[in-house]
Amino acid sequence: MSSNTPLPPRQRSGAANATVRTNPPKKKKRVWPRVLYTLVLLVIVGLGAYAYALWRQLNGALDDASAGAATQTVPSAEKAQVKPIALVLLGMDYRPKIGGMNTDVVMVAAFNPKTNTATVVSIPRDSDLQMPDYKRQKINAFYARYHSQSDAKGDAADAYARDKMKKMLGEFFGIDIQYASVLNFQGFVDIVDKLGGVHVNVDKNMRYVDNADGTNIDLKKGDQTLKGEDALGFVRYRKSNRGTAASSDFERNERQAQVLGALVDKMKSFGGLTKLPGVIDVAGKNLVTDIPKAQITNILKTYYDINREDIRFIPLTGTWKSPYVYLDQSSVSEAKKALAEELSPEGRAAAAANADGK
């Protein structure tokens, strides 16, 4: 070999292992979009399953509550989305230990779909309505009386009593009342508990014990969250046998309005919505109504988002003279006007404007 043969070029450090790439490197698969898609899909499926289960539960509860009206159809012109409606709301003081069917909560409510508002009038339980052609007795005793007068039994007797209450209160307020609902006090207790309690301002110390039916009201004054039994005691409290101040029917009505408003707020919260299945279940077991199942669905669709501020509470006032409450006619006139406004096609604002323009 000649000494003049050139040597191969010196390689730099690491160059010996260098390779020539003929194809671009493969990109790593992006896993995150697939994971995100899967999570979204699972959420959608989960919500769908939850909605389906909730709808089935709602259907079952409506079948339970709509006694004799589950399959009734609602004409288009009568749907809650189109026409204002009025109904009687009765809270029944039924306790198995002592029996009885007194309706110690008596309310008339009107709803207007145009304005998404409502008016709720509460009537003291001892009121003497002083209506011609009606027996003189406390208003809370009429439902039981009608029930006993019915020739039928069971559901048919309930329906007869509801119809009579609608007729009487419709005549008293001068409006057409289409529906009536009766909720027993145990249903109220269960609904409050299912919602995790209700926040109210207890206006005074309340203490009352009745061993005959197990009543034990023991509340301290102040803002607080009440569980079901305590909330029931709060709205029922009238007298004390343990040294606290008594309470009037008018104060009871104000407390009922406070609790009803607080329940509306609770139901609209996220926590309330998640507890809706339990509320539906206990309501179906403890509520009896003649509102057709289809119309209840219409009402829920129309007023699910109603604000507490858009519900006008009007507790009737009067004078107590044993054994009756004699209602102030100015209070009754205010309630009649408010209900008529709510039931006008355009709602309360338009009705008030028309009245001012006359």
pLDDT at position 280 is 77
Residue partners of 61: CB distance under 8 A and separation at least 6? 280, 281, 283, 284, 285
pLDDT at position 324 is 96
Picking from 353, 270, 252, 260, the residue whose alpha carbon sits closest to that of residue 313 is 260
122 three-state secondary structure: strand
The answer to whether residue 33 scores a pLDDT higher than 90 is no
| Amino acid, single-letter form, for residue 249 | D
CA distance 318 to 329: 8
| Mean pLDDT, residues 137-161 taken together | 94
| H or E element, residue 149 | helix 142-149
| H or E element, residue 209 | strand 206-210
pLDDT at position 285 is 85
| Mean pLDDT, residues 321-331 taken together | 96
| Mean pLDDT, residues 103-130 taken together | 96
Show the domains of the chain with their CATH numbers.
49-357 (3.40.630.190)
pLDDT at position 97 is 63
Give the pLDDT band of residue 293 (cuts 50, 70, 90).
Answer: confident
Q: Tokens 């507490």 belong to which residue? A: 308
| Mean pLDDT, residues 116-130 taken together | 96
pLDDT at position 283 is 83
Round the average pLDDT of the chain to a whole number and report it: 84
pLDDT at position 67 is 58
The answer to whether residue 217 scores a pLDDT higher than 70 is yes
Residue partners of 60: CB distance under 8 A and separation at least 6? 284
Instruction: Give me the percent of the chain exceeding a pLDDT of 90.
Output: 58
More confident residue, 212 or 150: 150
CA distance 327 to 127: 7
Query: What pTM, to 2 d.p., does this model score?
Result: 0.80
CA distance 164 to 144: 11
The answer to whether residue 104 scores a pLDDT higher than 60 is yes
pLDDT at position 140 is 96
| Mean pLDDT, residues 85-104 taken together | 83
| Amino acid, single-letter form, for residue 73 | T
DSSP 71-115: T----GGGSTTTS-EEEEEEEE--BTTTB---EEEEEEEEEETTT
| Mean pLDDT, residues 315-339 taken together | 96
CA distance 113 to 97: 42
| Mean pLDDT, residues 300-321 taken together | 92
pLDDT at position 127 is 97
More confident residue, 291 or 99: 291
Picking from 304, 300, 305, 302, the residue whose alpha carbon sits closest to that of residue 66 is 300
pLDDT at position 212 is 78
pLDDT at position 297 is 86
Please, how many CA atoms are within 13 Å of residue 82, restricted to the half-sphere of its CB?
Answer: 7
Give the pLDDT band of residue 213 (cuts 50, 70, 90).
Answer: confident
Per-residue pLDDT reduced to its tens digit, 273-286: 777 778 878 888 88
The answer to whether residue 51 scores a pLDDT higher than 60 is no
The residues with which 275 forms a beta bridge, in sequence order, are none
CA distance 358 to 354: 6
pLDDT at position 167 is 98
Picking from 50, 93, 52, 54, the residue whose alpha carbon sits closest to that of residue 279 is 54
Phi, psi (degrees; rounded to nearest 5) at 85: -130, 155
CA distance 61 to 73: 18
